[in-house]
Structure 1
Amino acid sequence: MPAFNPLVEKLSPPPVPSVFAWGRAYDGSKGPLIDLSQAVPGYPAHSEMLKLLGETASSTAFTGYGPIEGEAELRSVYAEHASRVYGASLGSDNIHITSGCNQAFVCAAMTVAGPGNTVLMTEPFYFNHETTLAMMGVKTAFVACAAENGFLPDLVSLEAAITPDVRALALVSPNNPTGAIYPPSLLEAIFRLCREKGIWLILDETYRDFMPVAGHAPHNLFSLAGWEETLISLYSFSKSFCIPGHRLGAITAGSSAVEQIAKIMDNLQICAPRAAQAAVAAALPLLADWREENRQEIGRRADALRSVMRGLTDWKLDAIGAYFAFVRHPFAGVGSAQVAEQLARRAGIICIPGAYFGDGQQNYLRFAFANADVPTIGRLKERLQNFFLS
């Protein structure tokens, strides 16, 4: 039998299916299964969104190939939207539409780094970013983020980790898996460090629409002179519009970077799904109030989880924000995968082991609390209180 690509073969299987398998073994004795695993919206798409998707999907106008960089209307509408969000001046030439934010990261990483180069990441890290780089033959280096610092990176440690072979720093804010939200001042300091060191800053802002306070720009980086030479920002329409199955994301970058990304996208997919692009272009201004209501709902779910965790003695909520909470389990010396598997099988709670986000995260579990409504989150207290490892 011919050999497989060793860069792919050495990777572990995708983690989410294995976690779902644990949940399927649950016998229902504690009540309905509580799914806090994969980050999916815990409520349906708006009826107008579904109507638009149906109309565009049934139109022959979107059955052929489209522009590699994305539909002109969506690029324009999203540029206007992002300009308002960040208080900056962004144009269509700064936008490239992708098939989801994971693909946006693939494109961004391939644009700035190649085999043998290094991309710096924070730990805990988003596992798909790490495996993407591994498949590409790009090395990774990590800067540990401590719970006592809110899982935010330390500038001194970041600077020390930027060695000559580092081509980019990849960050996620609001963070996956911890939920930590990077303050604008910290992001600006990191941006300036990257610019000084001559490396790219790849900033994944998938969960930008679920900040705890509305109307505040996540950062001011797009207003800084020469931002185009340092920053590549990533975004996902999936969570905000509840359409993860339609795979739609966006990259905001300088026009020169967009030109390079188009070369990659042409080989990966040619163009992102066209019907979904047309539907989102129409929905972006129409559903602003609905999306704000969802932001508030996610905030209520975060508050519900905080309340649950305050009532528990041994389980600790070390970080929470946007979609995620990073929860320290009470079983010292026991691997996070073992704890998560037993939680799923015996208590009917599906979550992601901390070890999937870095070897140093064995004491943690990731709860994707946005998946569950407030009453469901309230049921966690009794189940966690009465959970013991067998």
Structure 2
Amino acid sequence: MNKSRTEATFLSPIVESRRWVEGVTFPSDRPLLNVSQAAPADPPPLGLRQALAEAALNQDDAHLYGAVLGREELRTALAVQMSEHYSATVSANQIGITSGCNQAFAATIAALCGEGDEVIIPVPWYFNHKMWLDLSDVTACPLQVGDDMLPSLETAKAMITPRTKAIVLVTPNNPTGVEYPEGLVQAFFDLARSKGLTLIVDETYRDFDSRSGAPHQLFQTEGWEQTLVHLYSFSKAYRLTGHRVGAIATSSARLYEMEKFLDTVTICPSQLGQIGATWGIHNLQDWLGGEREEILARKQAILDGFPTLEAKGWRLLGCGAYFAYVEHPFDLAAEEIAKQLVTEASILMLPGTMFMPTGDKTAERQFRIAFANVDAAGISELFGRLASFTPPNPS
């Protein structure tokens, strides 16, 4: 008997890891340090919340169906912002608004792929990307990264088959935090264009890139929209996680196909969320700059404090945006250690096995640390607990 589409994939690591802490009582002097999820825990700034409240009270259309591809004012505002950020020309008809960036990816795959097609995706991968490919009966072809956590162009080129439809890049990367160099991103674009493939670039964390200015020049390339599908999230920029607002930039012809998927799934993105995102673009750029500086300060705290763990045999494999990716020194598999860390050290973080193909042995040595909600003092506490941790002897 055939499996259902949901039976064909795994349980979300976020959902699974939450079960590890259910019913666990943490000591008052050692509260839980949750570094499992890369999402802001605080609500949007007050001004944005006031804008949402005023829209809810006074804008009738905030409660009605809207355009499938999003409100025109948000599409225009994002196009202007992207044009300025990337020193390029992006138009509103090349922008589609979605119910979160996960849906942006889902709509992209629905428009590009049929059952049995293939998508090349670097590993460690963002687990929801793999889950959606599974749910779509699209084969995720794992592209192993090197010691620098960067994917190999030549390896990707060798993986292309007649069934290949797209290559996916996430930069700054989830889960490793690594920022992909401009030349590497451009080389993957050139490869995709030469082979008639689509390059999907997910820049959910672009607002927290340590580099100033545009991280690549893809949007300056003539005809970029024929090869590139660019994904973005307002959740991280303006703390709109619960409102689910993401975006796609690509050709209007591709958006036409994606519109069919979006109309079937959600009909339109959240009106209030879109109103909040538009307000954020126009009013929160200085505030967002401060948020970026705080995240970069936490990245520096990771780099400055890691020698404490390095002395215990840990290795830092990647760091940036919201994430650090590390290798542990123990003989046990990472998932077993992760469960022990909950009870023995009051730490919840995700093992590398949640970002790798089943059976990958390197994943058993790896962890992702999400530090979006852990400040410098919390990072110091985290490293102190990890440095003191020794897995209990098996019973």
> What band does the TM-score fall into relative to the shorter chain?
over 0.9
- Separation (CA, whole Å) in 1 of partners of 2:316 and 2:43: 28
| Equivalent-residue separation in structure 1 for 2:184 and 2:69 (angstroms) | 31
Map of 1:110-125 to 2, 5 A cutoff? Answer: 110-125=110-125
Whole-Å Cα distance in 2 between the matches of residues 200 and 103 of structure 1? 18
Opposite residue 99 of structure 2, the aligned amino acid is S
Contact 1:122–1:143 (8 Å) recurs in 2: yes
**2:345–2:385 Cα contact (<8 Å) kept:** yes
Asked whether the equivalents of residues 26 and 346 of structure 1 are also in contact (C-alpha less than 8 Å), the reply is no
CA distance in 2, matches of 1:30, 1:157: 49
Shift of 1:111: 0.8
1:230 equivalenced with 2:227 (yes/no):
yes
What residue in structure 1 maps to residue 184 of structure 2? 186
Match of 1:250 in 2: 247
Matched with 2:55 is 56
Alignment partner, residue 26 of structure 2:
27
Counterpart of 2:45 in structure 1 is: 46
Task: Give the letter aligned to residue 256 of structure 2.
Answer: E
Question: How do 1:64-213 and structure 2 match up within 5 A?
Answer: 64-146=64-146, 148=147, 150-213=148-211
Q: CA deviation at 1:380?
A: 1.4
Separation in 1 of the partners of 2:269 and 2:6?
Answer: 24
- Pick closer, same or farther for the CA change 1:4–1:39 going to 2, 3 Å: farther
Using the alignment, how far apart are the partners of 1:12 and 1:30 within structure 2? 35
| Matches of 1:266 and 1:5, distance apart in 2 | 27
Query: Mapping of 1:253-268 within 5 angstroms?
Result: 253-268=250-265
SS at structure 2 position matched to 1:370: coil
Instruction: Report the alpha carbon displacement of residue 305 of structure 1 after superposing the two structures with TM.
Output: 1.5
Is 2:245–2:277's contact at 8 Å kept on the other side of the alignment? no
Q: What SS does the aligned partner of 1:61 have? A: helix
TM-score (norm 1): 0.95
Mapped contact 2:149–2:176 kept (Cα < 8 A): yes
Q: Provide, for residues 283-327 of structure 1, a one-character-per-residue CA deviation record: whole Å limited to 9, x for no partner.
A: 212110000000000011111122221222111111001011101
TM-score, scaled relative to structure 2: 0.94
Unaligned runs of at least 5 residues, structure 2: none
The one-letter amino acid of 2:96's match is H
Residues in 2 aligned to 1:159 and 1:219: alpha-carbon distance in whole angstroms: 21
Shift of 1:61: 2.1
Question: Which deviations, in whole Å up to 9, do the C-alpha atoms of 1:319-371 show, x marking residues without a partner?
Answer: 00101110111113x22111111112210111111001004311100000112
Task: Work out the CA distance in 1 between the residues paired with 2:314 and 2:44.
Answer: 33
Q: Is residue 216 of structure 2 the alignment partner of residue 219 of structure 1?
A: yes
CA distance in 2, matches of 1:316, 1:349: 18
Does the residue aligned with 1:6 lie in a helix, a strand or coil?
coil
Q: CA deviation at 1:26?
A: 4.8
Counterparts of 2:118 and 2:86 in 1: how far apart (Å)?
Answer: 29
What is the alpha-carbon distance in structure 1 between the residues aligned to residue 264 and residue 61 of structure 2?
23
Aligned residues of 1:234 and 1:252 also touching (Cα < 8 A): yes
Cα deviation, residue 17, structure 1 = 2.2
**Which amino acid in structure 2 is aligned with residue 160 of structure 1?**
A
* 2:302–2:379 Cα contact (<8 Å) kept: yes
Instruction: Find the partner of 1:292 among 273, 283, 289.
Output: 289
* Letter aligned with residue 291 of structure 2: N
CA apart distance, 1:279? 2.0
- Give me the CA root mean square deviation: 1.4
In structure 1, distance between residues paired with 2:268 and 2:173: 28
Name the residue aligned to 1:373: 375
Q: Distance in 2 between matches of 1:5 and 1:253?
A: 34
**Counterpart residue number, 1:347:** 345
1:315 touches 1:328 (CA, 8 Å); kept in 2? yes
Q: Which amino acid aligns with 1:271?
A: C
Q: Percent identity?
A: 38
In 2: Cα distance, 1:184 partner to 1:80 partner: 22
Gaps of 5+ in 1: none
Cα deviation 1:10-60 (Å, max 9, x = unaligned): 322221122122234253266121110111125442111111121223332
Q: Equivalents in 2 of 1:33, 1:378: separation in Å?
A: 14
Q: Is the 8 A contact 2:240 2:273 kept in 1?
A: no
Q: What residue identity is the alignment partner of 1:78? A: L
Of 321, 333, 336, the residue aligned with 1:335 is: 333
